[in-house]
């Protein structure tokens, strides 16, 4: 348990940031899930539309250190490749 005033404040601050980060992570995962579902259904147009929303979500999450930047880049790359395969 925190003893000093600054440690108590840091604990409160961390709790507030955790709530915000959980919300952002959930929003990002939902956007990615939408793309993945569109890919599974084989609907290229829906996948492209969902990807336009998912890519900024992933990159914002990476900028805000919710996920690692390489993870965001890798997810974008793999989703884009999957969408490209739908065209063939």
pTM of the model: 0.84
Residue 5 in tokens = 């005033």
Residue 28 in tokens = 């990002």
Question: pLDDT value at position 88?
Answer: 72
Domains and their CATH numbers in the chain: 5-87 (1.20.58.110)
pLDDT tens, residue order, the chain (88 aa)? 778 999 999 999 999 999 999 999 999 999 999 999 999 999 999 999 999 999 999 999 999 999 999 999 999 999 999 999 998 7
Give the separation between CA 86 and CA 52, rounded to whole angstroms. 16
Give the separation between CA 64 and CA 73, rounded to whole angstroms. 14
Question: pLDDT value at position 20?
Answer: 96
């Amino acid at each position: 348990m925190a003893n000093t005033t600054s440690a108590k404040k840091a604990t409160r601050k961390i709790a507030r940031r955790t709530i915000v980060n959980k919300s952002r992570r959930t929003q990002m995962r939902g956007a990615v899930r939408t793309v993945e579902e569109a890919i599974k259904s084989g609907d290229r147009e829906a996948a492209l539309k969902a990807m336009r929303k998912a890519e900024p979500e992933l990159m914002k999450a990476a900028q805000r250190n919710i996920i690692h930047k390489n993870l965001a880049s890798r997810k974008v790359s793999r989703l884009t490749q999957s969408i490209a395969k739908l065209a063939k």
